[in-house]
């Protein structure tokens, strides 16, 4: 008895780009093997290309410091210091928060006192949480600067800068533009897995440009006191 060859249906492609099916000798319907394998190989190649490109730019939690520049101290989070960092963007729209001077707890805006330390604690103080995008020799990544490190760039307290921003429209944008392009040496700390801080933290900042002026000096020139 002569075997009946499989009957092939015209190839059609759906929205997912998968080849059409064929009728097998046993009467079941399955994918056209040749077209299916070709489409699968194409999709796999595209996915690998996307993953390779994504690895070129590291985000905060996924960043791993170079082993030659990395140092740890008894289980502490790893720190590393690139030869230089260039600030490529700064978010000055939401750069600070209220904190308790005693326990350092972050408090909601307009809070009159710390709900942990009670009424006897000093009044909450505004401190920096400045988000920057920096470029190193081989990557671009977001970093966060808290109060001590941010003061080295801004040259004033977060409370003073907030008052200046509130008094002058456009001052926040001018501050971001003043930071753009500055070259610094930063000591970066990679957050541990499960840490509350999501971004890599800059624990120290040293401007490298000769004649560097803090941002507050530029703003006082643009918006002199009356």
59 within a domain of the structure (yes/no): no
Q: Which of 141, 209, 161, 200 is nearest to 181 (CA)?
A: 209
> In this predicted structure, what is the pLDDT of residue 49?
55
Domain that holds residue 36: 21-54
The verdict on 166 and 203 lying in the same domain is: yes
- Same domain? For 99 and 137 the reply is yes
Neighbours of 194 (CB within 10 A): 6
Largest CA distance in the chain: 105
Would you say how long the chain is, in residues? 226
Distance CA 109, CA 97 (A): 7
pLDDT per residue as tens digits for the range 30-83: 555 555 566 656 656 655 654 554 444 444 344 455 544 455 444 456 888 998
Q: Tell if the pTM clears 0.75, that is, is over it.
A: no
Local structure of residue 96 (DSSP, 8 states): E
Assess whether 104 and 204 both reside in one domain.
yes
pLDDT in tens, 116-171: 888 777 889 999 999 999 999 989 999 999 999 999 999 999 999 999 999 999 99
Same domain, 25 and 86: no
Does residue 69 form part of some domain? Answer: no
Total domains in the fold of the chain: 2
């Amino acid at each position: 008895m002569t075997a009946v060859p499989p009957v092939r249906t015209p190839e059609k492609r759906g929205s997912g780009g998968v080849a059409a099916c064929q009728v097998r000798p046993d009467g079941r319907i399955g994918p056209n093997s040749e077209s299916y394998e070709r489409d699968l190989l194409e999709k796999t190649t595209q996915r690998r290309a996307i993953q390779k490109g994504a690895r070129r730019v590291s985000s905060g939690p996924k960043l791993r410091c170079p082993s030659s520049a990395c140092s740890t101290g008894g289980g502490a989070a790893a720190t590393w210091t690139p030869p230089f960092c260039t600030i490529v963007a700064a978010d000055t729209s939401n750069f600070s928060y209220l904190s308790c001077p005693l326990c350092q707890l972050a408090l909601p805006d307009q809070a009159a006192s710390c709900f942990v330390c009670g009424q006897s604690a000093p009044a909450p103080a505004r401190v920096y949480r400045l988000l920057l995008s920096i470029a190193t020799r081989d990557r671009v990544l977001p970093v966060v600067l808290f109060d001590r490190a941010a003061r080295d760039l801004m040259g004033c307290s977060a409370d003073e800068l907030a008052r200046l921003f509130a008094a002058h429209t456009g001052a926040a944008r001018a501050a971001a533009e003043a930071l753009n392009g500055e070259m610094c040496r930063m000591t970066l700390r990679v957050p541990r897995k499960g840490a509350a801080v999501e971004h890599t933290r800059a624990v120290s900042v040293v401007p490298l440009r000769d004649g560097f002026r803090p941002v507050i000096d530029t703003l006082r020139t643009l918006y002199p006191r009356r």
